[in-house]
Structure 1
């Protein structure tokens, strides 16, 4: 069994490092008054687990009867075939109509049905950043029409991809990257549950914490792989990837003052590889530490990371980062 599932939070009290957001969600569950939500933040910070815990407290053991979950990334990739293959939508799917028409019909039908022993039902969109703009505009109208019987929750790592009309109708909740000490304490608790001969040293635990970059899910996966394979953890091997090489080339282009080429290379990483802005910055940091060891570059990377932490537009921040490094470091 994967440890990320074994140690997945079930209640809001078990969610680590997000006290402020969890307090808001607790109040929503207690008052039975949940607004539309945009839940954003980096991966592995507890977004989905917190929402599921809130829904359990809101509806009890039968929470799934009043919640419809859309795996948006898969839906937008497979489009009509995804709707056609989903047993929930067989009675609503119309093969002679377009994906957009079918999607609008399904959403409207589900939103209009009255909830079971509750005042409203919930539609949860995982990876909401994958939603196209035409789908988002269709959802906006549905949100307006059926707000009395249905609440919409958009869970995403990139809130900037959602259109303003949707964001203006939702309460924004931002999950911050977890502090290293929080991740370390969680890993130590997990280690206490395994035989002493299989445990790892504090130094190696520290390497895993540092490599996770605030992502608790990633840290737990690294720890499980380390324990089960018994191969010493080496963070350098994690960075020897195609995407890391692309980040290295981008820094070389910045040094050559080719701003447009460096910006395009980093944008391609985000578009074609699906990387987040913070992941791009993390790779640039690793290259900087390995090849440049320049504190000025690190400072600019930290500034850009701070902007992204406060939900800034990822593409704008990465482009601005490239321009700043060229102008202030390599000028």
Structure 2
């Protein structure tokens, strides 16, 4: 029984496109050109300061860290590079034991130092971060740290001051298209124009989300269309969201509410998903700037209430009610 489980896991991991198409070198990294250029300069000099990578998920932080280690250490990179995920082990004991034991040992081969990649470091407790700053100072002769986080504000100032900070931004449509075409060629699939637009819309600057959406759609058909992308990712079409908002703005609140019910049943969306798509679609409605400001403020409030545990249906319907009220005010 154990052997069967292991074989299934290995087969599944071979088919995960996010891993299959992960960059092997810095030259293969898509987007973040300025950051990649600066990282290449470290490879040329053979030296490296402590680094802090900050930015939203799926924009290349882990890819850059692994590619940097491969370019810098060559064939011995696995012996001189370790990756820890702070969201799994976030206490002070991890810093005092796992990290410290790796940092204090000498690098192997011709490497001048080892690299510890600490992913999702904003999940570390404040005590663990305080212990980490001392470890970073003490073992600089044998080890460098690459710290990755979504929010740099959650990293204590003493650690930030010890690192060269790199802020990653969301990837652009051209970056998503480049990866999609690379996968299209490698997997022998066909991505239609509307299918590519759908992948870019679903991704919202997150390459990991884009690749997963593409793989999910490919299980339905080798021809990747918008319909396949939206159905397999449980994402409503932008036009359907816009239609719901226009109904509310025109004073047809009950029709807008019925449209919301259709979307929830058809796509199985959560309240947060609906609010995210409302925010993305409202700027194409041609509303006055003052109205946009008021509605964005209301969207932010609804999003906060959902985060705090508010009822999803009530919050989304209340948001549609605000669209109706502002639509009537515009008519006057």
Q: Give the TM-score normalised by structure 1.
A: 0.65
> Where do residues 283-298 of structure 1 align in structure 2 (5 Å cutoff)?
284-288=275-279, 296=289
Aligned residue among 66, 78, 95 for 1:52? 66
Aligned match of 1:234: 230
Distance 1:71 1:38, change over 3 A: same
Aligned match of 2:196: 205
Q: Aligned with 2:228: secondary structure?
A: coil
- Structure 1 window deviating more from structure 2 (143-152 vs 292-301): it is 292-301
Query: Deviation per CA, 1:145-183, whole angstroms, max 9, x where unpaired?
Result: 222221111011221110000001000011211111221
Shift of 1:33: 0.9
Q: Aligned with 2:78: secondary structure?
A: helix
Contact 1:42 1:157 in 2 (8 A): yes
1:9 aligns with 2:23: yes
Aligned match of 2:117: 124
> Where do residues 185-264 of structure 1 align in structure 2 (5 Å cutoff)?
185-195=178-188, 198-230=189-221, 232-234=228-230, 238-239=234-235
Query: Deviation per CA, 1:228-256, whole angstroms, max 9, x where unpaired?
Result: 1237222796358xxxxxxxxxxxxxxxx
Distance 1:225 1:105, change over 3 A: closer
Contact 1:66 1:122 in 2 (8 A): yes
Distance 1:223 1:301, change over 3 A: farther
Contact 1:39 1:174 in 2 (8 A): yes
Q: More relative contact order in 1 or in 2 (CA 8 Å, sep 6+)?
A: 1
Q: Aligned with 1:233: secondary structure?
A: helix
Unaligned segments of structure 2, at least 5 residues: 1-14, 222-226, 237-271, 298-303, 308-318
Shift of 1:12: 0.6
Distance 1:232 1:32, change over 3 A: same
Q: Alignment RMSD, CA only?
A: 3.3
Task: Give the whole-Å Cα distance in 1 for the aligned partners of 2:53 and 2:295.
Answer: 25
Aligned residue among 142, 148, 159 for 2:135? 142
Contact 2:217 2:232 in 1 (8 A): no
Contact 1:199 1:227 in 2 (8 A): no
Contact 1:285 1:298 in 2 (8 A): no
Q: Aligned with 1:152: secondary structure?
A: strand
Task: Give the whole-Å Cα distance in 1 for the aligned partners of 2:215 and 2:203.
Answer: 13
Distance 1:298 1:118, change over 3 A: farther
Contact 1:211 1:235 in 2 (8 A): no
Aligned residue among 171, 174, 180 for 2:173? 180
Query: Deviation per CA, 1:63-120, whole angstroms, max 9, x where unpaired?
Result: 11112221211113xxxxxxxxxxxxxxxxxxxxxx6356414433332222223222
Aligned match of 1:264: none
Aligned match of 1:19: 33
Distance 1:283 1:170, change over 3 A: farther
Bigger Rg, structure 1 or 2: 2
Task: Give the whole-Å Cα distance in 2 for the aligned partners of 1:300 and 1:42.
Answer: 26
Unaligned segments of structure 1, at least 5 residues: 77-98, 241-279, 304-314, 319-324
